[in-house]
Amino acid sequence: MPFPKLISKPWGYEEILYENAGLIVLRMFIRKGEETSLHKHPNRDEYFIILRGKGKLLHENRRVSLKEGKMIHIRKGQVHQWKADEDLEIIEVTTNPLEDLVRIKDKYGRTKTDGTNV
């Protein structure tokens, strides 16, 4: 697959920068005022670096303020949701597959079985 690969989302987009059998590096862009689904990944850990913008992360029933330079580790099975107070740009490093998703709540009407992630 040629890189980068752009994946449109109702909240913005994901751009896959690198992928091999065990690792994915992507850039998430969440538009101001938008949010991802409330979700978890049963089989994969995720690591994030906030590149720019401000927002909040709902993470296991607590709110974490987001700003440039913040680094976050979300362990497999932990419930989380990203919310952008400003345009938010995030680097994510995770393992395959991206479809490892259990969506709990989604304001865009997507279900947990629609074949998309976040």
DSSP-assigned letters across all residues of 68-108: TT-EEEE-TT--EEEEESS-EEEEEEE-S-TT--EEEE-TT
Confidence band for 111, pLDDT divided at 50, 70 and 90: confident
Contact predicate 83/56, CB 8 Å:
yes
Contact predicate 16/3, CB 8 Å:
yes
Q: Does domain 9-105 bear CATH number 2.60.120.10?
A: yes
pLDDT tens for each residue of 54-98: 999 999 989 999 999 999 999 999 999 999 999 999 999 998 887
Taking residues 33-55, report their average pLDDT: 96
- Residue 98 confidence (pLDDT): 79
How far from 22 is each of 9, 38, 50, 62, 104, CA to CA, in Å? 23, 25, 23, 30, 26
Taking residues 46-51, report their average pLDDT: 98
Both structure tokens of 10 = 């109702």
